[in-house]
Amino acid sequence: DTAVSQTPKYLVTQMGNDKSIKCEQNLGHDTMYWYKQDSKKFLKIMFSYNNKELIINETVPNRFSPKSPDKAHLNLHINSLELGDSAVYFCASSQDRAGQGQYQPQHFGDGTRLSIL
Amino acid sequence: GESVGLHLPTLSVQEGDNSIINCAYSNSASDYFIWYKQESGKGPQFIIDIRSNMDKRQGQRVTVLLNKTVKHLSLQIAATQPGDSAVYFCAENIGLGSGGSYIPTFGRGTSLIVHP
């Protein structure tokens, strides 16, 4: 069973289009994340949701809108795609640290490679 | 800006050798330091973490060393195998995210190449 699954794996589209990436986790985690990895492998957090509520919103254009219908899902919708949006987008989840005596690592999906033509 | 960086972008080793991947950090308030491994076409995978009040932690074939005096972190891999070839990221966790979550900041990554 895939713990964190995101679809699609590849997304090729034209500038100006609107697209969505879906993410689901079956680990029972309370927190989900979206990361962007650029061509130099730099991994930067975009958003984080805890129990369906937005807790982290880094400096991301408002063309990017996350949606969490329930705590097992965190989808990413992108409007008016630009060339600079080309990257690999990773979804991740983790357990809350509250009450835990040790670090609770992020579990990542295998990424969605977004290419803008 | 970035507060976590790496000394070497690429490390090539022979199978069976020990590998050492280094990382520098700048934020003294970080409470955990973490290493992730990313294989080609996959997402990062957790390897090991170390709390800021420790200086050494061992796992299976891996050891993480933390030197807070010089703000340096290293990952040692014993008897490196071809399957260890990947990009390795260090990350630091700075404080608490709202809701009690961990929010790590990742460094740029080191590519480890293991030659058979």
The residue ranges of chain A whose pLDDT is under 50 are: none
Residue B2 pLDDT grade (very low, low, confident, very high; cuts 50, 70, 90):
very low
Query: How close, in Å, is residue B34 to chain A by CA atoms?
Result: 8
Beta bridge partners of A45: A35
pLDDT tens figures, B37-48: 999 999 999 999
Q: A7 touching B, CB under 8 A?
A: no
Q: Is A41 exposed, middle or buried (0-12, 13-18, 19+ CB in 10 A)?
A: middle
Q: In this complex, which of B46, B100, B109 lies closest to A41 when CB atoms are compared?
A: B109
CA distance B4 to chain A (A): 11
Q: What is the DSSP letter of A9?
A: S
B1/A58 Cα distance (integer angstroms) = 12
Distance from the A99 Cα atom to the nearest Cα atom in chain B, whole angstroms:
9
pLDDT in tens, B84-106: 999 999 999 876 555 556 778 89
Nearest to B108 among A40, A97, A106 (CB): A40
pLDDT of residue B100: 57
Q: Please name the residue that has the structure tokens 């999906």.
A: A109
Q: Do B97 and A48 touch (CB under 8 A)?
A: yes
